Amino acid sequence: MNERDQWDAGREETRAGPSLARPYAWTEGRTRPTVHLALEALVQTTPEARSIPYNRASPLSAVTQLCLRPRSVAEIAAYLAVPLQVARVLVGDLLGAGIVIVRETLGDNATWDERHDLLERVLSGLRTL
């Protein structure tokens, strides 16, 4: 096989990569969460929900396990390798069921310096992923 054929074969493998259909199937096609969730909002599993057994087939269970320690919505999306909106829908469902709590990192009255600092921390965290 020459170099051009190998390159074409590699492109075909890339096109046949993971589909976005599966994550959207996790949300039953929903793309909007029931609540507004900032990408930097911290999500944590409630103490009561920590005893719920892990179910490998459930993306909600995966989020619950990830959030045994606080994680941002952006981190959840990255760990699950799903679009941000899918992570927001899953977290919104868990929040509605009382399985997770969500803590906003900034209020409406946050200063520009606080917002800038938060963006720097988010970028730093994304780089480490």
Q: How far is CA 72 from CA 10, 11, 50, 61, 97, in A?
A: 34, 33, 18, 16, 19
pTM of the model: 0.69
Q: What's the domain range around 94?
A: 20-128
CATH code: domain of residue 36 = 1.10.10
Task: Say if 1 falls within a structural domain.
Answer: no
Task: Say if 8 falls within a structural domain.
Answer: no
Task: Say if 92 falls within a structural domain.
Answer: yes
The answer to whether 80 and 87 are in contact (CB under 8 A) is yes
- Residue 1 is predicted with a pLDDT of 53
Task: Say if 7 falls within a structural domain.
Answer: no
pLDDT in tens, 30-55: 888 888 888 888 999 999 999 999 98
pLDDT in tens, 57-110: 889 999 999 999 999 998 999 999 898 999 999 999 999 999 999 987 777 787
Task: Say if 43 falls within a structural domain.
Answer: yes
Angle, CA 22 vertex, CA 37 and CA 54 arms, to 5°: 70
Number of structural domains, the chain?
A: 1
